[in-house]
Amino acid sequence: MKLPGFLRGMPQVARQEFVTNLKSVRLVVMALLSALLIVGGAFGFTALSSFGGPGGLPDVVVWGHAVYAANGSHVAAIWASDPYGAPYGGRLATFTEMRDGVTLGEVTTDANGFARLDVGTRQEVDASVRVGTYDSTTSIFFFPSPVNFSVATPQGDFDRHGRSDGMAVHVLNATGDPVNALVRVNDTSVGSVDGYGYLRFSLPVGLSNVTVEVAGQTETTAVYVFDMGGMPFASGPDLVLFIIASLSFIVVSIFAIVLSFDAVSKERVQGTMDLLLSRPSSRTGILLGKFLGAFGAVALPVTLVNLGGIGAIAAASGKAPTGGFALAFLGFSLLLIAFYVLIQLIMSTLAKTAGSAVLFGVLIWLLFNILYSIVTSVIGYGLFHGDPATLTRFMGLSGLGNPTSICSMLFMLAAPADLAGFTGTTMDPALPAAAAVVWFVFLLVLALWTFRRKAAE
């Protein structure tokens, strides 16, 4: 089928631009970086909880105990270990007065991870241990009279499956030494502590009573495990996809700029613009070919990476995101690519050198991804500070002036109902949809007009 005259040269230019970009080092680097961030992030956000280290647990646990010397003096005793009971020996433990921060003393943990310091009559003491660059601190409170044994109990996601249904206890006797202790959960025995005084066990969902028994004496603690639905978060894989999409949109916009910043300026710098214009090709065809070639070169790796991210979520959680939500993620990523490729074609046409084109691209990215929200917030608060309702409407509508925000709005509007608490909006879906069309047409027309006027200069 013969194309209209104003599209002459478009297929040839598009093919050349696409192939050239596919062979570029920039594309390979950006694709690998995108895969690392999106696919790696999908696994990370799915498999790990949102706090602390693995499973929401600190890398180093300092188990603090209030024990008492024979003369009644208070002794701050600690055991330093990882969350799973492996001791950290030979580490410096620092003891400080909790209220005024005065250092009371420093003691190196023994081979079994224990350290003790006589703090006299002080009632509240902090103890910290540094392992590498990680610093962990615990607080120790002394009761008016000695107790027969002391228990420290962190709760967390020891199995790294998205639910804090694990618990560990560490038990010392009144003199600060490990002691034989039996542990029961809801009157069912879960075992006894090891030679360090440590035991780890699982808890059922709901309320449980954890009882530690030493020499016939008991101490019971009530703990609760929320049913978070397992991996990845309470709202499932759709929430992880929402988080990943927020990261992906940033990467996609950078990807489009990096790959297309010199689509036109390189022709001018290399002296090939006149040759390109002398061919039987229209300027409209050349510009559209540049757009389609750059768009395709960015869209191909981005789509593959995004599919990899969706697959990573499904593999790590055992459940795929909602189909329509996943398709919206893929589709609006492509729309964002189209926006930024067009923007960069305009900048590349205006720029006389590749360096200027890069600078323009960076400035445009900063404008739409950082500065725009700051400026509109300042304007909104300045104009409608005393009118919260109008301010809310203004902030919502101001997003229509930003192509990145438009894609985010459309994606959020496609979110399943169970994510309403995270992505809910009162905006009419027709507004961002219409804004997307207006932005695309405006950028396309501006790119064509700019190229027709500036390309041959």
Residue-wise pLDDT for 379-427, tens only, equals 988 888 777 778 778 888 888 999 999 999 899 888 887 676 566 566 6
Amino acid at 125: V
End-to-end CA distance of the chain: 33
Q: Averaged over 257-281, what is the pLDDT?
A: 71
Most confident of 160-169, 346-355, 397-406: 397-406
Confidence bin at 3 (pLDDT 50/70/90): low
Q: Averaged over 218-237, what is the pLDDT?
A: 68
Long-range CB pairs of 21-28, under 8 A, 24+ apart, other chains included: 21/259, 21/260, 21/293, 21/294, 21/297, 21/298, 22/297, 22/300, 24/259, 26/258, 26/259, 27/259, 27/297, 27/298, 27/301
**Residue 270: pLDDT above 80?**
no
Q: 3-state DSSP call for residue 207?
A: strand
Q: Are residues 40 and 113 in the same domain?
A: no
Query: pLDDT tens-digit profile of 62-86?
Result: 999 999 888 889 999 999 999 899 9
For the chain, how many structural domains are there in total?
2
Q: Are residues 26 and 59 in the same domain?
A: no
Q: Are residues 161 and 248 in the same domain?
A: no
The vertex-117 CA angle with 116 and 123, nearest 5°, equals 115
Task: Say which residue, 61 or 163, is predicted with more confidence.
Answer: 61
> What contacts 1, CB < 8 A, 6 or more positions away?
none
- Residues in a beta bridge with 74: 68, 120
Query: Measured between alpha carbons, how far is 256 from 342 in angstroms, rounded to an integer?
Result: 9
Phi/psi of residue 127, nearest 5 degrees:
-130, 130
> What contacts 89, CB < 8 A, 6 or more positions away?
109, 110, 111, 112, 113
Q: 3-state DSSP call for residue 261?
A: coil
Task: Say which residue, 154 or 114, is predicted with more confidence.
Answer: 114
Q: Are residues 197 and 258 in the same domain?
A: no
Task: Say which residue, 185 or 417, is predicted with more confidence.
Answer: 185
Count CA atoms within 13 Å of residue 314 on its CB side: 11
**Residue 6: pLDDT above 80?**
no
Task: Say which residue, 442 or 282, is predicted with more confidence.
Answer: 442
- Residues in a beta bridge with 14: none
- Domain end, chosen from 208, 225, 242, is at 225
Q: Averaged over 146-159, what is the pLDDT?
A: 82
Q: Are residues 143 and 103 in the same domain?
A: yes
Query: Measured between alpha carbons, how far is 24 from 14 in angstroms, rounded to an integer?
Result: 15
Q: Are residues 89 and 107 in the same domain?
A: yes
- The answer to whether the CB of 84 falls within 8 A of the CB of 167 is no
Q: Averaged over 366-385, what is the pLDDT?
A: 87
- Domain end, chosen from 225, 252, 276, is at 225
Amino acid at 368: F
- Domain end, chosen from 225, 251, 278, is at 225
Query: In the 3-class helix/strand/coil scheme, how is 121-150 assigned residue by residue?
Result: CCCEEEEEEEECCEEEEEEEECCCCCCCEE
Query: pLDDT tens-digit profile of 95-112?
Result: 999 988 899 999 999 999
Pick from 8-17, 150-159, 224-233, 444-453: least confident: 224-233
Exposure string over 163-190, b if 16+ CB within 10 A, otherwise e: bbbbbbbbbbbbebebbebbbbbeeeeb
Average model confidence (pLDDT) across the chain: 84
Q: Are residues 294 and 418 in the same domain?
A: yes
Strands (E), 351-436: none
Q: Are residues 258 and 167 in the same domain?
A: no
Strands (E), 193-263: 198-202, 206-214, 217-225
Q: Averaged over 342-351, what is the pLDDT?
A: 88
Task: Say which residue, 83 or 276, is predicted with more confidence.
Answer: 83
- Residues in a beta bridge with 150: 172
Domain of residue 94: give its range: 54-225
Q: 3-state DSSP call for residue 243?
A: helix
**Token digits for 14?**
């598009």
pLDDT for res 51: 38
Q: Are residues 238 and 213 in the same domain?
A: no
Which phi-psi region, left, alpha or beta, contains residue 85 (left: φ > 0; alpha: ψ -120 to 50)? left
Q: Are residues 61 and 36 in the same domain?
A: no
Q: Are residues 399 and 271 in the same domain?
A: yes
Q: Averaged over 48-53, what is the pLDDT?
A: 41
Confidence bin at 434 (pLDDT 50/70/90): very high
Q: Are residues 309 and 440 in the same domain?
A: yes
